[in-house]
Structure 1
Amino acid sequence: MAHQEDHRSHRIGWLRAAVLGANDGIVSIASLIIGVAAAHTSREDILLAGIAGLVAGAMSMAAGEYVSVSSQADTEEADIALEQRHLQEDHEFEFQELAEIYIKRGIQPELAKQVAMQLMAHDALDAHLKDELGIYERITAKPIQAAFTSATMFTLGAAMPLIATFIAPPAQIIPIVASFSLFSLAMLGTLAAYLGGANIWKGAIRVTFWGTLAMGLTATAGKLFGIAA
């Protein structure tokens, strides 16, 4: 049977945006709902605040991811253009630079020069992008993908506490939303850890802890402002 390796680094781009979006959707909207509910607000006002938060949050996530990842893409493109110019202006220096990289990794000098020579003969730019700059096509920045994934997952995450608010009795909105949201966060952390090949318990506990902290602080703020009002 042929040996098969199941690496997961190719999932970094979309997995990061998906987890960030869903986590932010659950935590921010659940916290918003709990904070508003703690101020003794009607269910209609709580739902209105939650829906407004969903729309604003999804657009904010999309815009933030697009701008952030676009900046990364711009930097990568600038590095690619700079490396192309260096190869055209001083090919010999770039050859020595690549060979030195392999020597530092433990390859014998003569063999390192042979490897560098063959790789540069095949695709000099690709060799330098991967081994000198660490730019790989499979993990390169994709702004539109990141924006769409983040906004979509934020919406799906935010839907969880909104559904809980809609079905919960008015007097039980806070405990039901908190329980439902924490369960959703635990499942999200478990799934993200599984897809990334990490420890699922660590992933679940991490997102649940921060979700609990956010909801607790927002509930405290809601009660304080509710009393003041």
Structure 2
Amino acid sequence: MLTIIHGSDTAASRKYFLDEKQHSPDALLLDADKVNLTDLAQIFEGGGLFGESKYIFIELLITKKKKSSDFVDIITYLENHADEHTIYLWENKDLDIGTLKSFKKAVQRPFKLPQTLFVLLDSLKPGNGQQLVKLFHQTIESAETEMVFFMLIRQFRLLLALSQTGESEIEELKRMAPWQRTKLEKQASLFTHEELLHIYQQLYKVEAGQKTGGLSAPMTSVIDFLLLEI
């Protein structure tokens, strides 16, 4: 069986990939940069017991090999051996329909972030603490708290960057679609630059405390307090 693990919830998809690897006998983790038909043939058709099933795990094969000349041949080869062997491909993003259609026999295992997370991010504004806490707890019912915290940091980093007139623009803003940027600019205008800087500094302190074990309360409670203070 060939399984493609992908989606916006990279924490959950990564955990699933590693759990499957841990529970697979003699699992082989292959380097996507070095995967080629010769090595795959050696793995699937080389020495070993006749009919022995292999467990193959490859990270970012599609991302790293999609533009290579042998990509289609590699995918075809993997699919041709998927009935006798177990193959997992992990990607750290959502794969588009066109890419997924290039696989004829693969099973998809998508991991998507809950819609409430994006509602939470869009609802970040002064004086909206109670609603933010409610959305936060709805979101962590189906997403890791650490992932939600990471997205909060990212959102305020973007808002802070937009509030800094005259500063060089960060790369993430340069790559953003016009409608996304306009939406963020409108949200950033709800805060003063000083407010955004203070919130970002608080997030940084929480992140540092999480890494060093110095938080005075559970992570969810700390985020609750932070959201209420916005």
TM-score (norm 2): 0.29
Q: Which has the higher strand share?
A: 2
Query: Larger RCO: Structure 1 or Structure 2 (Cα < 8 Å, ≥ 6 residues apart)?
Result: 1
User: Which of these two proteins has the greater Rg computed from alpha carbons?
Assistant: 1
Q: Which has the higher helix share?
A: 1
TM-score (norm 1): 0.29
